[in-house]
Amino acid sequence: MIRALVCGGVLASFFEGSPEDRKLVIKQIHHVFGDWEKRFGIKVLGSLDDDRLQIGPTLGYPWTFYILCDAPDHETLVTVVDQLRQGDFPLYKYIKLEVRTGRAATELGLP
């Protein structure tokens, strides 16, 4: 297993989009980020969404949302990211992702 931190930022095009486009983005977000354990074998350990204290485009830190998870391997994480490039309404125009990988810090006494 690989410990991963998925960092996501909402881009300016989301805020500039029509209400219909924003609804499509939200619908697609539910698909892309939903049910990772069943679809990819990824165990989500926690998440944080900063959309209540932050508004506007996010190009890097601090990110809009974070997902801490354990993934089976590197290729699985690539598959998750690739979802933003696929379909008739690709999310890469509206969401930026960065995935950091490492190992659990259990040797330091952390979970």
Q: Please give the model's pTM, rounded to 2 decimal places.
A: 0.90
**Cα–Cα distance measured from residue 22 to residue 15, given in angstroms and rounded to the nearest whole number:** 8
- Residue 29 is assigned to a structural domain of this protein: yes
Report H helices in 5-94: 12-16, 19-33, 36-40, 74-82
In the chain, % of residues over pLDDT 90 = 77
pLDDT of residue 54: 80
- Residue 70 is assigned to a structural domain of this protein: yes
- Residue 87 is assigned to a structural domain of this protein: yes
In the chain, % of residues over pLDDT 70 = 100
pLDDT of residue 82: 96
- Tell me which residue range forms the domain holding 67: 2-101
Residue 71 phi, psi (nearest 5): -110, 150
Q: Which residue has the higher pLDDT, 53 or 16?
A: 16
What value does the mean pLDDT of the chain take?
Answer: 93
Alpha-carbon distance values, 15 to 22, 84, 91, 95, 108 (Å): 8, 18, 13, 11, 41
What's the CATH code of the domain at 86? 3.30.70.1030
pLDDT of residue 87: 84
- Residue 107 is assigned to a structural domain of this protein: no
CB atoms within 10 A of CB 95: 22
Count of domains observed in the chain: 1
**What is the distance, to the nearest Å, from the Cα of residue 29 to the centroid of all Cα atoms in its chain?**
9
